[in-house]
Amino acid sequence: KTATGTPAIGRTAKGKKGNLEMSIFLGLDSSTQSLKGVVIDSNSGSILASNSVSFGKDLPDFNSPEGVLPNRDPLVKHSNPLMWLSALDMLLSKLSSSGAPMGAVRGISGSGQQHGSVYLSEQAKNIFSSLDPRIGLAEQIAPALSRSSSPIWMDSSTSMECAEISSAVGGERLQQSTGSPAIERFTGPQIRKFYKESPESYAQTAKIHLVSSFLASVLSGRYDAPIDYGDGAGMNLLNLKTMKWDAEICSASAPELMSKLPQAVPSSTKTGTLCSYFSKYGLKPGIPVVAWSGDNPCSLVGSGAATQGFAVVSLGTSDTFFAAMQDFKVDPNGYGHVFGNPAGGFMSLICFKNGSLAREKIKEQYGVDWEFFGTTAFEKTIPGNDGDMMLPFFVPEITPHVLDPKPFYSGSRAFCTGKSSPEKMIRAIVEAQSLGMKLNSRWIGEKFKTIRVTGGASRAHGHCQVLADVFDAEVQKISVPDSAALGAAMMAANAVDGIPFEKLASKFCKETESIRPITKNVETYRHMADKFEIFLSESVHFKTSGNLC
Ligand code: XUL
């Protein structure tokens, strides 16, 4: 395993490692706060190089410390798409100068934060097909944008548009066809808002991309690279029965929308070839660019769960729970989603916005370090937290729907009045996040025996034990530094060389640690789950004062 920024480990770029022929692929991951890249050898199952660019730290000129532009309205969350382009130049340059075997890369794919959209004008066609290697991507592509900012998945400002689309199409029909009811952060409602607020700019828009298909377009020097089924399903526009854009839903969202969308294709599609701009980083022009997908579908692959019955819990900026789906099924409560599984078929997904965002808030509030947060706090407290519970709604929440966020507390007076210890508050937030996942994943109708954990917070043993006990499942850690970037690289290997996902998973996604459920704790959480459900429902649905002590 190479640490971020370390060069390829003593391998030549000629594609040989000892006697073994190497088969090298590059996976990129454009997430909310950073762009990461990983170079893999699909034969040996090794990671040859990895690197990353932090939007806040490495690109301070974009004024987006957490990858998001400041906005007075807390429901509006946009990013500057030019920032993602500057990051792409910077990342490839870092990889190349650190000695990664760029010349041996045989295919590229990528992962994008889901739902975010990029708007291109007619000019984009020429600009994308004639990128000049002497000039940076951001500078060249700026004139191709018909909208200067991109709404991203954290945006919750489209309630009105969701209601309009639902009433035009019918809520049930929308959910049964697209796998989700109208959702604020999904691309269709976001496009509708843009059309309503800026009809002229909307009219000047020739192509609307997801973050994933936008970056795939840049790599392949074409302005209209397709959108894959995995990420396309997060738009409220793709009909999952026909796997085509749904004409009725598209026209209920915005006029002539169908003609502005790139083609929808299976994730394994080679959507283009690398354009000559990128040869300055040592990459070979003409190698296949494989359809990019969303970060969650890519993570499903990179966690080794695309073809096996594992559920995956990703503890990142947002927390997500997802799994390959046996039969197409929608969430009657409307919080869960159905996306395309890059390995074929579908995947379920439930997203919680108050993931690391909320954990960081508590960590900062109490001035503790991650060691305390991840381990010590759990040694000093007991499962069930003596009946003290919280709901960590620090930012607007998606699951359940909370647009006016505030944390809720229940239990002892000391706890509810904030006079309790940091360790109790930490256990409370982790128990709430885990119980919330359990409750909101019931609709999938499967008892998962194994849960794989990824993301920064998955290093915390205490958090993993709570998950194992709440789900009564074995929690497995895997030796994967970034499951979305790895998943993207595996998707490239699958599409270019036809290597089955099972085979790739057995090489790259090995279990490194297993945390088993403790029977006594499982019982504690079984009882607590009922109380938690009532607490959640009273707090959110009846909008109490925020303190149920
Ligand atoms: C999923 C979701 C987030 C983003 C950012 O629906 O909104 O997980 O993909 O990671």
DSSP letters spanning 167-222 = HHH-HHHHHHHHSS---TTSHHHHHHHHHHH-HHHHHTEEEEEEHHHHHHHHHHT-
pLDDT computed for residue 495 by the predictor: 98
Confidence (pTM): 0.92
Omega within 30 of 0 (cis) for the link into 226: no
Three-state secondary-structure class, residue 504 = helix
Instruction: Decide: 356 and 458 in contact? Cβ < 8 Å.
Output: no
Structure tokens at 312: 């995956």
d(CA 185, ligand 1 centre) in Å:
9
Structure tokens at 217: 């377009």
pLDDT computed for residue 337 by the predictor: 98
**Whole-number mean pLDDT of the chain?**
94
Q: Is residue 306 in contact with ligand 1, taking CB distance under 6 Å?
A: no
pLDDT (average), residues 70-81 = 97
**Rg of the chain (C-alpha set):** 23
At 547, the pLDDT band (50, 70, 90 cuts) reads low
Instruction: Decide: 225 and 213 in contact? Cβ < 8 Å.
Output: yes
| Unique residue bearing structure tokens 């990353």 | 52
Q: Which of 185, 228, 231, 299 to mutate to test the pocket of ligand 1 (most atoms within 8 A of CB)?
A: 185
d(CA 117, ligand 1 centre) in Å:
13
The kind and range of the H/E element at 414 are: helix 413-416
pLDDT computed for residue 299 by the predictor: 96
Q: Which carries the bigger pLDDT value, residue 437 or residue 15?
A: 437
The kind and range of the H/E element at 371 are: helix 370-371
Least confident interval from 49-53, 159-163, 456-460, 538-542:
538-542
Structure tokens at 17: 């490692």
The proportion of the chain whose per-residue pLDDT surpasses 70, expressed as a percent, equals 95
- Strands 105-112 and 311-315, by their bridges, are unpaired
Q: Give the whole-angstrom CA distance, residue 422 versus residue 212.
A: 40
Q: Give the whole-angstrom CA distance, residue 254 versus residue 527.
A: 47
The kind and range of the H/E element at 425 are: helix 422-440
Q: Is residue 296 in contact with ligand 1, taking CB distance under 6 Å?
A: yes
pLDDT at 1 over 90: no
Express each pLDDT in 379-423 by its tens digit.
Answer: 999 999 999 999 999 999 999 989 889 999 999 999 999 888 999
What number of other Cβ atoms are within 10 A of residue 304's Cβ? 28
27 phi, psi to nearest 5 deg: -120, 135
Structure tokens at 232: 């396309």
Q: Which carries the bigger pLDDT value, residue 484 or residue 14?
A: 484
pLDDT computed for residue 540 by the predictor: 85
Atom 9 in ligand 1: which residue has the minimum CA distance?
114
Q: Which of 36, 320, 338 to mutate to test the pocket of ligand 1 (most atoms within 8 A of CB)?
A: 320
Atom of ligand 1 nearest to the CA of 153: 7
Atom of ligand 1 nearest to the CA of 317: 10
Structure tokens at 16: 């040989």
pLDDT computed for residue 5 by the predictor: 45
pLDDT computed for residue 15 by the predictor: 43
Q: Is residue 115 in contact with ligand 1, taking CB distance under 6 Å?
A: yes
Structure tokens at 77: 């969350």
At 520, the pLDDT band (50, 70, 90 cuts) reads very high
Instruction: Decide: 271 and 126 in contact? Cβ < 8 Å.
Output: no
pLDDT (average), residues 249-269 = 98
Express each pLDDT in 141-192 by its tens digit.
Answer: 999 999 999 999 999 999 999 999 999 999 999 999 999 999 999 999 999 9
| Unique residue bearing structure tokens 């000049």 | 132
Q: Is residue 36 in contact with ligand 1, taking CB distance under 6 Å?
A: no
Q: Is residue 161 in contact with ligand 1, taking CB distance under 6 Å?
A: no
d(CA 116, ligand 1 centre) in Å:
9
Q: Is residue 351 in contact with ligand 1, taking CB distance under 6 Å?
A: yes
pLDDT computed for residue 541 by the predictor: 73
pLDDT (average), residues 436-443 = 97
